[in-house]
Structure 1
Amino acid sequence: MLIHASIPARDPAGAAAAIARMWNAEAMPFPPVPGAWIVFAGDDRGTQIEIYPAEVALVPGPAEVAGTPADPSQPTGVHIAIAVPHEARDVIAIAAGMGWTARVCNRGGFFDVVEVWIDDRFMIEALTPAMQRAYVDAMTPANWKRVFQLDAAA
C-alpha cells in the first residue's frame, strides 16, 4: 500500500494547491526540504504527496537521505496514480488553471486515466471514481497473467 510519494514541480506551492483541489485535501509547507510543500489526503492511512522544487533530487546522504542539485528540464520515467473524487472534466480544469497538459487516456484497454502533466514534465494519473472501479477490476495478478500470457512463460 502506498503511504506517500514525493514528486518534482517548478512551483511546489501551486502544484500542492492543485493536487489538494483534486483530492479535496489540505496543502501546507514541508519545512524539512526548503521550498517544498506537502498535501495530506485526509484519509485514514495518512496518505500524502510531498512536492519538492524541481531542481532538488534525493540521494543517499552520509546518515540519511539528502538533497542535491537536479536539472529541472529533464523528464523522468517516474509517475504516480491517485484516486480523486472528481470527474475528468473537473481534473482537467484544475490542470488547465495551472497551465498543465491534461487529457483522458486509455491504458491498453484495461482502464482510463486522466493524465495530468505537472510542468509538462511529471505525470500523475488521476482516476475518477468510475476509473478507479475499472482499475480495481482490471489490475489483478490473474488478469495480468492472462492478458500477457505469463503463465506459459513461468
Structure 2
Amino acid sequence: MIHHISIPAQNPHHVALVLAELFQGKIMPFPPLEDAYVVLAKDDYGTLIEIYPMGSEIMPGHGIDEASFCRNAHPYRFSAVHAAISVPVSQADIEAIAQREGWRVLACDRDGLFHLIEFWVENHLMLELLPPTMAEGYLQAMAPASLDRLLAQMATVPVRVSSF
C-alpha cells in the first residue's frame, strides 16, 4: 500500500488546492520545506500527496542524519514518476477541473486491463486518476488471481528492449 507520494510543481500552493478538490480533502503547509504543501485525502488509508517546489530534491543523510532537501537550479520538467490514485469525484468532474486549469486530461484504456484518466498536473506530471466508476476495474485487474493469469500470459510474450 502506498500511503503518500511527493510531486514537484511550479506553483505548489495552487496545485495543492486543485488536488484537494479532486480528493475532496484539505491542504496544509509542509514545514520541512519552504513553499511546500501536503494534500490530505482524509481517507481510511492516510493517503496524502506532498507538493514540493519544482527543483526540490531529497538527499540521503550521513550516518544517523535523516534525509534533507536541496534545490536543483536546472530541473528537468518531465519524469517517468507517476501514480495511479483513486479519487472520489467523477470523470466529468476531473475533466472539468483539468479544462479549467488548462491541463491536459485524457480518458485511457490500458491495454484492455482497466480504464483511467491521465491528468497532467501543470502539463508536466501525469497522475492516473481512477474515479469510482474506474477504480473497481483497476482493483479487479490487479487482484491476485487476475495477476496470476496475466503473468502466465506474459511468460510467452517476447521482451522488448528499448534504447534511447
TM-score normalised by structure 2 residue count: 0.85
Structure 2 counterpart SS, 1:149:
helix
Q: Is the contact between residue 84 and residue 127 of structure 1 (CA under 8 Å) also seen in structure 2?
A: yes
Per the TM alignment, residue 66 of structure 1 is displaced from its structure 2 partner at its CA by 1.4
Q: Does 1:15 align with 2:22?
A: no
**Within-5 A mapping of 1:8-47:** 8-47=8-47
Provide the C-alpha distance between the structure 1 equivalents of 2:44 and 2:137, rounded to a whole number of angstroms.
23
Per the TM alignment, residue 112 of structure 1 is displaced from its structure 2 partner at its CA by 0.8
**Within-5 A mapping of 1:82-93:** 82-93=85-96
Structure 1 segments, 4+ long, off by >6 Å, are none
Output the amino acid matched with 1:65: A
Q: Does 1:134 align with 2:144?
A: no
Output the amino acid matched with 2:7: I
Provide the C-alpha distance between the structure 2 equivalents of 1:112 and 1:135, rounded to a whole number of angstroms.
7
Kindly name which structure, 1 or 2, has the bigger radius of gyration based on alpha carbons. Answer: 2
Q: Does 1:64 align with 2:66?
A: yes
Aligned length: 153
Q: Does 1:104 align with 2:107?
A: yes
Provide the C-alpha distance between the structure 1 equivalents of 2:124 and 2:96, rounded to a whole number of angstroms.
18
Q: Does 1:81 align with 2:84?
A: yes
Q: Is the contact between residue 104 and residue 114 of structure 1 (CA under 8 Å) also seen in structure 2?
A: yes
Partner of 1:53 in structure 2? 53
Structure 1 gaps of 5+ residues are none
In structure 2, do the counterparts of structure 1 residues 65 and 150 end up closer, same or farther at CA, with 3 Å as the change threshold? farther
Structure 2 counterpart SS, 1:38:
strand
TM-score normalised by structure 1 residue count: 0.90
Q: 1:146 aligns with which of 137, 146, 149?
A: 149
Percent identity, aligned pairs only, is 39
Q: Does 1:125 align with 2:125?
A: no
Provide the C-alpha distance between the structure 2 equivalents of 1:12 and 1:21, rounded to a whole number of angstroms.
14
Provide the C-alpha distance between the structure 2 equivalents of 1:152 and 1:83, rounded to a whole number of angstroms.
29
Provide the C-alpha distance between the structure 2 equivalents of 1:22 and 1:39, rounded to a whole number of angstroms.
10
Structure 2 gaps of 5+ residues are 157-164
Structure 1 counterpart SS, 2:119:
strand
In structure 2, do the counterparts of structure 1 residues 149 and 88 end up closer, same or farther at CA, with 3 Å as the change threshold? same
Provide the C-alpha distance between the structure 1 equivalents of 2:93 and 2:19, rounded to a whole number of angstroms.
12
Q: Which has the higher strand share?
A: 1
Per the TM alignment, residue 85 of structure 1 is displaced from its structure 2 partner at its CA by 1.3
